[in-house]
Copies of this chain bind each other. A is one copy, B any other.
Amino acid sequence: MDHARKLPTMTDVARKAGVSPMTVSRALKSDGLVSEDTRARILKAADELGYVLDSTASSLRSQKSDFVAVTIPSINNANFADTVGALNEGLKPRGLQILLGYTNYDMHEEERLIAQLLRRKPLAVVVTGGTHTPRCRRLLENAHVPVIETWDLPENPLHHVIGFSNAQAVQSMVDHFVAKGLTRIAFVGGDTDRDTRGLDRRRGFVAAMQRHGLDATRLIAAGPPPISMREGAEVMARLLDTAPDTQAVICVSDLSAFGALSACQRRGIAVPGQISIAGFGNFEVGAICVPSITTIDPSPKDIGARVARLICRVLDGDAPEPVLDHLAPRLLLRESSI
């Protein structure tokens, strides 16, 4: 491509249409303050020149961007993707553009990313989770921008929160199994502090088991996040070897739960006949597979839609108080558990 050639500017359009640049600016943003035939002439000139507005200059002069910065742990996770997708849909009518970053489940990467994203002067910042490095918190506080923490209930919220308690959700799953008479329950998930949501789920498991006076030591580490189907299968195989009397397995996500289910199928272990399996996240695979997998639905799209609505409210000057939107994920009982 010819990099050398200079792109046409508003001044070029103005000259061609026989008006001032200011009138071009007004015409392009449908100000209503331009006569119809002038506007038509300008649009025609712009089209013929192949003119494209320079958002950079526009943002600099008007001192406002149309960016919303968003960080998620991984792009390749249907839950977070659903949240971002719904957020994107909700922001589209306003012409807002998402600036997406992946932290790779790493708080320091999040810090680096936030520092980079803040340079664009986003209108709002949406982060996944409520645990951040001190410098990351400082950066966000200094930015004087609305911040929304999601997928979690932080102890010390930075600002707005739209999330749920991961620990509580898993406790409800434990309660359900215990009510069914199961006592030898294992938890499959990560044990590093990288995936804080995963750790919260694990904590919820331990707390609930202890509350019921049950042994909470069947904790199977599955390595660093993301914990995929493959890790779920490997870990389940290990569990079947070391603790074959296990009655139920709660997995940190539906993906690892599906892997666990596959491992059982390969060994001819009946699910839920011999062992019950549950996941987290209501991924599609868990609804379609045979048997379908009991899970907890955190409504990722709902989170995204709510974030979008909150951002719109804030931009309208509404919502002066920090919002705390505490969601309650639903338990979905399916075929994989008795």
Q: Which residues of B sit under 8 angstroms from A97, Cβ to Cβ? A: 99, 116
Q: Is A246's beta carbon under 8 Å from chain B?
A: no
Determine which of B2, B60, B285 lies in contact with A258 in the assembled complex, contact meaning CB atoms within 8 Å. Answer: B285
| B-contacting residues, A70-94, CB 8 Å | 74-76, 78, 81-82, 84-85, 88
Contact B52 A118 (CB under 8 A): yes
Q: Is A179's beta carbon under 8 Å from chain B?
A: no
- Tell me the nearest residue of chain B to A266, going by C-beta: B290
- State whether A262 and B284 are in contact (beta carbons under 8 Å apart), knowing that A54-B121, A85-B76, A144-B2 are contacts in the complex: no
Contact B102 A99 (CB under 8 A): no
Most buried by B among A95, A100, A143, A265: A100
Q: Is A119's beta carbon under 8 Å from chain B?
A: yes
Q: Which residues of B sit under 8 angstroms from A84, Cβ to Cβ? A: 75
- A159 to B84, alpha carbons, bound, how many Å? 30
- A284 to B258, alpha carbons, bound, how many Å? 11
Q: Which residues of B sit under 8 angstroms from A56, Cβ to Cβ? A: 56, 59-60, 65, 120-121
Contact B284 A144 (CB under 8 A): no
Q: Which residues of A contact B (CB under 8 A)?
A: 1-3, 5, 7, 50, 52-57, 59-60, 65, 74-76, 78, 81-82, 84-85, 88, 95, 97-100, 102, 115-116, 118-121, 138-139, 142-147, 159, 228-230, 233, 255, 258-259, 262, 265-266, 284-285, 287-290
- Output the least CB separation between A249 and chain B (Å): 16
- State whether A120 and B55 are in contact (beta carbons under 8 Å apart), knowing that A75-B85, A82-B76, A102-B85 are contacts in the complex: yes
Q: List 29 A-B contacts (CB under 8 A).
A: A1-B147, A2-B144, A50-B139, A52-B115, A52-B139, A54-B121, A55-B120, A56-B59, A56-B65, A56-B120, A56-B121, A74-B85, A75-B84, A75-B88, A76-B78, A76-B82, A81-B81, A85-B102, A97-B116, A99-B99, A100-B100, A229-B284, A229-B288, A230-B288, A258-B288, A262-B288, A262-B289, A266-B290, A285-B285
- A272 to B95, alpha carbons, bound, how many Å? 50
- A220 to B292, alpha carbons, bound, how many Å? 25
- Output the least CB separation between A146 and chain B (Å): 5
Contact B65 A75 (CB under 8 A): no
- Tell me the nearest residue of chain B to A159, going by C-beta: B1
- Output the least CB separation between A228 and chain B (Å): 6
Contact A288 B265 (CB under 8 A): no
- Tell me the nearest residue of chain B to A232, going by C-beta: B288
- Output the least CB separation between A336 and chain B (Å): 13
Q: Which residues of B sit under 8 angstroms from A230, Cβ to Cβ? A: 284, 287-288
Contact B60 A119 (CB under 8 A): no
